[in-house]
Amino acid sequence: MRSFFWALAIAFIFLSQSATASARGDFPCEAYEVLQGHDAYNTLLCAGIVAYDDGQFEEAVGALEKALGQPLFEYPNFELLPRLALAHHFSGARRLAEEYLAISELTFSVYFGILECKEENNVYWLADRFGQMIKHPLAERTMNRMCGAILEPIYRPETLARIGYNCRLLETLGAAQLVVNGE
């Protein structure tokens, strides 16, 4: 039964075509993480997806890590983290898969408003809905990726299309959790 869910998760994430990406422009692939105006990021993202689809997991890791390192103008670079966790998992790097999955969970929690970036005297921290500091070994990496005044408006979806897009992000995260955690 577990193999069925793994196969389903992988097929859904890496082989599905996204109408969202097609509607956003002409890009190197149709992954929904493709971002208009970020050609270097898109090229690396798509190279990682192709390598993953071909079973070249170490090559996929390399391309996705390079894509993750690309600066995005006024947008946090986090959406491909679950794909990177899966690529690490299938390349045999279990510890890195778990680490990227944990970072995915934290960054998505910020993105969806479960956690907040708090700032006082130019010092950021992650807080829960009660304003209490989140103490997690990967909190600082999450803050570096997700916190900053220019990013905060992004975390409030304003259209139904954006909410639909967000559902795709959660599906990817859920599939990565299923595979990496072996559930």
User: Can you state the angle between helices 57-68 and 81-91, rounded to 10 degrees?
Assistant: 150
Q: What is the distance between the alpha carbons of residues 26 and 55, in angstroms, rounded to a whole number?
A: 26
Query: What is the b/e burial string over 78-88, where b = at least 16 CB atoms within 10 angstroms of the residue's CB?
Result: bbbbbbbbbbb
The tens-digit pLDDT sequence of the chain (183 residues) is 444 444 444 544 444 433 333 334 555 688 888 888 899 999 999 999 999 999 999 999 999 999 999 988 878 899 999 999 999 999 999 999 999 999 999 999 999 889 999 988 888 899 998 999 999 999 999 998 898 877 877 777 677 777 887 888 889 899 999 999 986
CA-based torsion, 16, 19, 22, 27: positive or negative: negative
Q: Which two tokens stand for residue 29?
A: 């692939």
Which pLDDT value is given to residue 80?
A: 94
Amino acid at 36: Q
Return the domain boundaries, the chain: 2-107+157-180
Angle between the N-to-C axes of helices 39-53 and 57-68, in degrees from 0 to 180, rounded to the nearest 10: 160
